[in-house]
Structure 1
């Protein structure tokens, strides 16, 4: 897989995947504003699955778990402009404003379809990726422009961008039931539930009477079984959406759990 990235600064990049799809389970450290030039992205979140394609603009909040699957389409690469809105930059921006954010229970992905001002702002970055000597402070000016436009078109965006709280201790069982499909290190799950790794493992065993790895594998396979029976999805799609990293390992684990392979299960289902 050929991947290329060009940078204006570390917080503004032009990202390009040339051939096969790319998949990763990610915890976003910063808010990300993304504009699609070509290709498609499927984003699996606890609250649902999103599909983005050419022309789409969306914002992914920080400290959110997601499975990202990037696809080239129609012979064109997966190509996006990505702008990181860092906590440090946003603290400085909001320090001059009188804003008191209301914390949302779930910070969902924001989709801005067909918005000319926002698209114009992000498209104007393209020539800068080819320049060696950039105008001073151009990156900060462009991020300021983008955030100013976001605040004018999305009345509740301050509740995301001006919220600088770190994850506090929350109900572990409820969180894991909603986020088990993300293949994250246990340390990350601990951080997101407000716990050290040791405390996370202890509280996990209290909640589920099982080790995290055994419980996670069983939950992911149960979800896969449901996706096959109820949604008739393909094994390759289900594999990545429920938290496995490769199809052969997924098929082996599935057969070990249920006694039959995904292809056998799908073949036995009635065709609608």
Structure 2
């Protein structure tokens, strides 16, 4: 099988099969829906402002909805990285809730991202879904793919019944503390409309509330905050510019260096003023 850096869709928008070359990759991502990560081989790390979670081959991770974080994929030595990703979209979960009569019965107090214990039932399921991924083609119909998704949801509820309170909670994101959220998540390079969504606001309401809280426009505040963090990492922690620009939310070293010099009067590799 040819290796690719782009995941192959088995069931468009729902099941993805990622078969990557032997190269470490890192990406900032927004999860709009609960998402299952089945690690076939290699090492997967999820880092959000509140959690850092690691899984290895044979392990299963459930990522909660409406989150932003960094995912890092590391292949095993001498072998490709392989994972199966299942997006548990709200429309599908609503259908299953109606068909199976599933309703929340309380509040799920668990962490937003959690490793799922792989019992014999889930282990059998995971082994059964790998051929779907490796041999995806026209014979894998939507009905068949959706049946596999429904199967794993029912197995998840059998393993951790309290998941019904998070998976089947269809309420809109509540309006959360904007200041706390932005201070915790400013380093993630995502569009403003996604920051707005994660804080439970429209884009216009986000911009209005942001100016009230921080006294400036979001884009300018984000750049200043990222540059201040970079200055600390370079000047105090003795990190290199080439190591920190992605970490603080810049997409290119050249743009970071230009913005840094414009704000502080010297390049990031130069002397950092006290």
The verdict on a shared fold, with TM-score over 0.5 as the criterion, is yes
Q: After the TM superposition, which residues 31-46 of structure 1 pair with which residues of structure 2 at under 5 Å, given as runs?
A: 31-46=34-49
Distance verdict in 2 for CA 1:109–1:136, change over 3 Å: closer
Whether the aligned pair in 1 keeps the contact of 2:117 and 2:159 (CA below 8 Å) is no
Give yes or no for the alignment of 1:128 onto 2:132.
yes
Give yes or no for the alignment of 1:8 onto 2:21.
no
Residue 21 of structure 2 is aligned with which of 6, 18, 34?
A: 18
- Pairs aligned (count): 265
Whether the aligned pair in 2 keeps the contact of 1:186 and 1:197 (CA below 8 Å) is yes
Distance verdict in 2 for CA 1:134–1:201, change over 3 Å: closer
Residue 217 of structure 2 is aligned with which of 211, 220, 244?
A: 211
- What secondary structure is seen at the aligned counterpart in 2 of 1:69? strand
Distance verdict in 2 for CA 1:41–1:136, change over 3 Å: closer
Question: Any idea what the Cα deviations from partners look like across 1:154-193, whole Å, max 9, x if unmatched?
Answer: 2321121011112233322222122212212111222222
Distance verdict in 2 for CA 1:122–1:7, change over 3 Å: farther
Residue 101 of structure 2 is aligned with which of 87, 97, 115?
A: 97
Cα deviation for residue 19 of structure 1 reads 4.5
Residue 74 of structure 1 is aligned with which of 73, 77, 81?
A: 77
Cα deviation for residue 27 of structure 1 reads 1.7
Whether the aligned pair in 1 keeps the contact of 2:173 and 2:198 (CA below 8 Å) is yes
Cα deviation for residue 213 of structure 1 reads 1.8
Distance verdict in 2 for CA 1:38–1:202, change over 3 Å: same
Question: Any idea what the Cα deviations from partners look like across 1:122-158, whole Å, max 9, x if unmatched?
Answer: 2211222315423783222221221122112223211
Gaps of 5+ in 1: 266-272
Distance verdict in 2 for CA 1:233–1:92, change over 3 Å: farther
- What secondary structure is seen at the aligned counterpart in 2 of 1:123? helix
What residue in structure 1 maps to residue 207 of structure 2? 201
Cα deviation for residue 196 of structure 1 reads 2.5
Whether the aligned pair in 2 keeps the contact of 1:21 and 1:70 (CA below 8 Å) is yes
Whether the aligned pair in 2 keeps the contact of 1:67 and 1:241 (CA below 8 Å) is no
Which moves more between the two structures, 88-97 or 21-30? 21-30
What residue in structure 2 maps to residue 270 of structure 1? none
Distance verdict in 2 for CA 1:197–1:232, change over 3 Å: same
Distance verdict in 2 for CA 1:43–1:121, change over 3 Å: same
Give distance in 1, aligned partners of 2:121 and 2:244.
Answer: 37
Q: After the TM superposition, which residues 148-187 of structure 1 pair with which residues of structure 2 at under 5 Å, given as runs?
A: 148-187=154-193
Cα deviation for residue 9 of structure 1 reads 1.4
Distance verdict in 2 for CA 1:172–1:256, change over 3 Å: same
- What secondary structure is seen at the aligned counterpart in 2 of 1:214? helix
Give distance in 2, aligned partners of 1:134 and 1:98.
Answer: 27
Whether the aligned pair in 1 keeps the contact of 2:44 and 2:71 (CA below 8 Å) is yes
Give distance in 1, aligned partners of 2:261 and 2:22.
Answer: 31
Whether the aligned pair in 2 keeps the contact of 1:170 and 1:194 (CA below 8 Å) is yes
Give distance in 2, aligned partners of 1:34 and 1:118.
Answer: 13
Whether the aligned pair in 1 keeps the contact of 2:46 and 2:52 (CA below 8 Å) is yes
